[in-house]
Structure 1
Amino acid sequence: MPIEFIGRVSGVDDELCLVAAIAERDDGTGRALVFQAGLEPPDDQDVRLGHDTHCLVTETHGTAYGCVRELAIDGNRMHVIIDQHALAELGLTDTEIQVELAIAPEAIELLRQYLSRVLTYGRPEAQPTVLRT
């Protein structure tokens, strides 16, 4: 059964790293997905640690690198497929996540732009096989 939630709060940032996030509530409760990537190309240490790709963080602070297999935004719907091997790390129960984007059209557009940048960071084999933002 897919994980479903309504994303009412979004945010992007590129000060310390690239960040694109969507959350159920702005008080920190409820579901959240935070997609992150570096601003600079990965260095040798990033490669050694497996941090030479995008990172996904959930509301439980579960964290996994290179785990997004597919991401598509169609209108106000975001569909995400996560690698099965990352479920335990992320604290998730299903590989499929459906998010209704209950945010302004301008915020959806900004989220699209940042997700494209975040999810194409680093080693190509860790990038999503499907990316429609």
Structure 2
Amino acid sequence: MTKSRDAVHETLRQSTGFRSAQDVFAAMRAGGAKIGLTTVYRALQSLSDAGRVDVLRTDDGESVYRACQSEWHHHHLVCRNCGRTVEVAGPDVERWAEVVGAEHGFTEITHTVEVFGTCSSCAAARDA
């Protein structure tokens, strides 16, 4: 699994933006890798669990993946047109999650926050 996981991770590191498991699989197969789609899914899950890839759920419910650009806990600002993604810190979100969890008796709080919008390049192209 380690060799496959490393190959999947390398494919994501060479990619720009988020990619679906099917996209990763197709890219790897096109590059000559002998890997199955199930192995790609397992590798992506393992990389996600280890915090080595970011995962977003698209509007239609599909999970898409990207190699993490930073090692600190972060959130994403994502352009819904081109997929451009910016990693952002969210200290207010962190505090809010802890407070809300504590108010309801929860501990070991985790969360994900993704903010979607239109990047300046896409907005300028639309308005041109």
Structure having greater relative contact order (Cα 8 Å, sep ≥ 6): 1
**Is the TM value for this pair above 0.5?**
no
Please indicate the TM-score interval, normalised by the length of the shorter structure: under 0.3
Which structure features the higher share of helix residues?
Answer: 2
TM-score, normalised to structure 2, is 0.28
TM-score, normalised to structure 1, is 0.27
